[in-house]
Amino acid sequence: MIQYKNVFKTYDGGDSSAVRDLSLDIEDGETLVLLGPSGCGKTTLLRMTNRLEDVSAGTIEIDGEDIGKVDPVQLRRRIGYVFQGIGLFPHMTVAENATIVPRLLGKDADGARAHARDLLALVDLDPDIYADRFPDELSGGQAQRVGVARALAADPQYLLMDEPFGALDAVTRKLLQEEMLRLKKQLSKTIIFVTHDIFEALSLGDRIAIMNQGKLEQIGSKEELVRSPASQFVSDLFAAPKAQLREFRALLEGE
């Protein structure tokens, strides 16, 4: 379980803030989607969760333990992170990229290679074809899959995914979302998945937390959010795609 308790992240001695008084609990096995506009604090919240940044105030607890008191290296073994914008190492092969964490932890080369093949198969990349390629020999969607494989390599209990499918075309994105649902069932991890795509949020989240300007606007199931938005911001958020759907239907029916 991950618990955020009155978490703040401020800059410039408190003059500006990325996260403001945010409290929420994420249950074991749950996929929580963080949804919100650019700059609302989503990446900052993830970065604080594995201590790439420290909180300015408040606490983050994982399994009841304040992460501020845990060794960051130990902490990151339990948390897989898929970075916004992928971040594969260009001079390493796909197999080396996928197993960087176990290799840093001392896994031998042969073991790592066998492990890499399993991980690539898990994210539906044929190891015979892709294991020895370099990142610049992959499509965007394939590179994203390697990013997911890398995050899964140390078999972490928790997975933080920062807009993993953000830069992809709609068809590839849909495909990876479906795969994400399959992986989620297969691996039963606790996942925080960041997006600013409403449809992605609706398809992947057990619950959705909506953020706006560093604050939590509302958290709930998709039914709760759509039926009873707690603020104008939340109802506007759902109004735009509803209007889009109506236009699309009208277009189809006009044909």
Ligand X SMILES: Nc1ncnc2c1ncn2[C@@H]1O[C@H](COP(=O)(O)OP(=O)(O)OP(=O)(O)O)[C@@H](O)[C@H]1O
Q: In the set 38, 108, 185, 253, which binds ligand X (CB under 6 A)?
A: 38
Query: Is 44 strand, coil or helix?
Result: helix
Binding positions for Mg ion, 32-51, rule CB under 5 A: 43
Pick one of 2, 4, 7, 18: the residue that binds ligand X (CB under 6 A).
18
Interaction with Mg ion in 82-101: which residues (CB under 5 A)?
Answer: 84
CB of 43 to ligand X, least distance (A): 3
- Give the alpha-carbon dihedral of 139, 141, 49, 181, to 10 degrees: -160
Chain positions 232 to 251 lying near ligand X, rule: CB under 6 A, are none
| Distance, CA of 138 to CA of 143 (rounded, Å) | 6
Query: Should residue 115 be labelled a site residue for ligand X when binding is judged by CB under 6 A?
Result: no
Q: CB 142 → ligand X: shortest distance, Å?
A: 22
Q: Is 124 in contact with 145 (CB distance < 8 Å)? A: yes
Query: Is 36 in contact with 218 (CB distance < 8 Å)?
Result: no
Integer angstrom CA distances of residue 183 from 8, 122, 148, 204? 32, 8, 10, 11
Token pair of 160 as six digits: 């933080």
Q: Which of 26, 1, 16, 35 is nearest to 193 (CA)?
A: 35
Q: How far is the CB of 208 from ligand X (least distance, A)?
A: 15
Asked if 148 and 165 touch (Cβ cutoff 8 Å), the reply is no
Residues 190-219 contacting ligand X, CB under 6 A: 196
Write the DSSP symbol of residue 83: B
Residue 195 found at the interface with Mg ion (CB under 5 A) = no
Using CB under 6 A as the binding rule, whether residue 41 contacts ligand X is answered as yes
**Partner from Mg ion, ligand X, none contacting 41, C-beta within 5 to 8 A by type:** ligand X
Choose, by CB under 6 A, the member of 2, 4, 44, 225 that binds ligand X: 44
Of 96 and 217, CB closest to ligand X: 217
Q: Which of residues 149-188 bind ligand X (CB under 6 A)?
A: none
11 forms part of the interface with ligand X (CB under 6 A): yes
Stretch that binds ligand X, among 11-19, 90-98, 140-148, 225-233 (CB under 6 A): 11-19
CA dihedral of residues 225, 227, 228, 232 (deg, nearest 10): 80
**Partner whose footprint covers residue 150, from ligand X, Mg ion, none (CB < 5 to 8 Å by kind):** none
Give dist(CA 125, CA 143) in Å, integer.
10
When asked if residue 122 is in the footprint of ligand X (CB under 6 A), the reply is: no
Q: CA angle 25-205-29, nearest 5°?
A: 55
Give the Cβ contact number of residue 35 at 10 Å: 27
Question: Of the two residues 43 and 177, which places its CB atom closer to ligand X in the complex?
Answer: 43
Binding residues (CB under 6 A) for ligand X: these are 11, 16, 18, 36, 38-44, 84, 196
Binding residues (CB under 5 A) for Mg ion: these are 43, 84
